[in-house]
Amino acid sequence: MKKYVSLLCLVCAMFGTAIGVKAQNPQLTNHYAMKLVEDGQGGYKLLQEARYAKARMDMSALTDVLVPYKYEPQRLTRKLYKDVETIDFVYKKANGYELILSVDKAVADKPTPFMIYLHGGGWRTGNNSSSKVLSQYLAKQAGITGVRVAYTLAPQSGASIQVTIQDVMDALKYVQSHAKELNVDPSCFGFLGTSAGAHLAAVGAMKSQAKLLVGYSGIYDLQKAKITAKTKDAQRIAYFDQLNPKTLAAVSPINLIPKKNVPACLLVCGTYDLTVECEQSKLFAEAVKQKGGKTVLDIYPFYDHSLSSKGSDKMEEIFFKSVEFIQKNLK
């Protein structure tokens, strides 16, 4: 099995400052994960105030909506997830680029369960460092190997939603075919993703024999979700086969729920999500339930899209709910 070391990452880590790479300041948010900007008068305003108003999201009852929030660790201290061995592997080569998966290794005498993590970014941005803390926490504290997957993004050559979904399935196949080397149980696994990553995680979970799915702010019915059905972005339209209804239906997790052995699902969403409407999680939860699947739906009133990130005061709550759900169902 070929180990992959990213030369670019190594160079950036060693010489990033010297070559003038300037670190960007993190996006300012309130504790609801709504983005804030300075108003020029010593205070703050909502970056997307007009969009909230257009969506009829009433802020009148929120007295702290213009108060900046800064995450400070409470339960989640670094010692709980540090010193986990991570190895990168090239699992696929296509169209002039390589796709890697990063394995956060659990130390165990027998094969461990594993989780596949898929990052968000609207199918066109992001990288597999997403969910790194959760992956390494579960590896160290629960003996669950983490697999963080990079996949084909919309701007890349030959990209389409079908290609990306095949990447996800190929990543799973790669791990299963190297189960002995990775010390994992090829039949005991789950998926987790955020936003577009939750869509891909749900597709992967429903198309395999996964034990569970965890989805944050996910897209599950692409024929109804505004981010796909009503997009005007030319790149996204091309990526989704010109919004062909048959394609959107075929890659919608809500249409892929198996008749039996439905993965247990933990779905999280915020009611003031401007990117993906919370209704997506509600619809998918009900569909899973109708197929006999176990579903936990956590809805957070007033919270925006990134409620599971450090830009929200619910991050640790969602983190540890996910840990508990994964440990309970990944058996």
pLDDT at 95: 82
pLDDT at 24: 54
* SS3 at position 279: helix
- Model confidence pLDDT, tens digit, residues 140-186: 999 999 999 999 999 999 999 999 999 999 999 999 999 999 999 99
- Written as one letter, the residue type at 202 is A
Closest listed residue to residue 34, CA positions, set 299, 282, 271: 271
Q: What is the DSSP letter of 98?
A: E
pLDDT band at 94 (very low <50, low <70, confident <90, very high): confident
- Whether residue 263 contacts residue 189, with contact meaning beta carbons closer than 8 Å, is answered with no
Check whether 3 has a pLDDT greater than 70: no
Across 297-307, average pLDDT:
98
Fold classification of 78-329 is Rossmann fold (3.40.50)
Beta 184-194 vs 295-300: how paired, if at all? unpaired
Q: Distance between CA atoms of 132 and 50, rounded to whole angstroms?
A: 34
Across 255-262, average pLDDT:
97
pLDDT band at 255 (very low <50, low <70, confident <90, very high): very high
- Whether residue 154 contacts residue 236, with contact meaning beta carbons closer than 8 Å, is answered with yes
Q: Give Cα separations from 115 to 98, 165, 172 (angstroms).
A: 21, 17, 10
Q: How buried is residue 226: exposed, middle or buried, by Cβ count under 10 Å (0-12/13-18/19+)? A: middle
pLDDT at 20: 36
Q: What is the DSSP letter of 99?
A: E
Averaged pLDDT of the chain: 93
DSSP 250-269: HT-GGG---SSSPPEEEEEE
- Model confidence pLDDT, tens digit, residues 107-151: 999 999 999 999 999 999 999 999 999 999 999 999 999 999 999
pLDDT at 9: 40
Between 222 and 96, residue with greater pLDDT:
222
pLDDT at 40: 96
Across 52-63, average pLDDT:
95
Check whether 14 has a pLDDT greater than 80: no
Q: Which of 18-22, 296-300, 322-326 has the lowest mean pLDDT?
A: 18-22
pLDDT at 133: 98
Delimit the domains of the chain by residue range.
Answer: 78-329
* SS3 at position 45: strand
The pTM score is 0.92
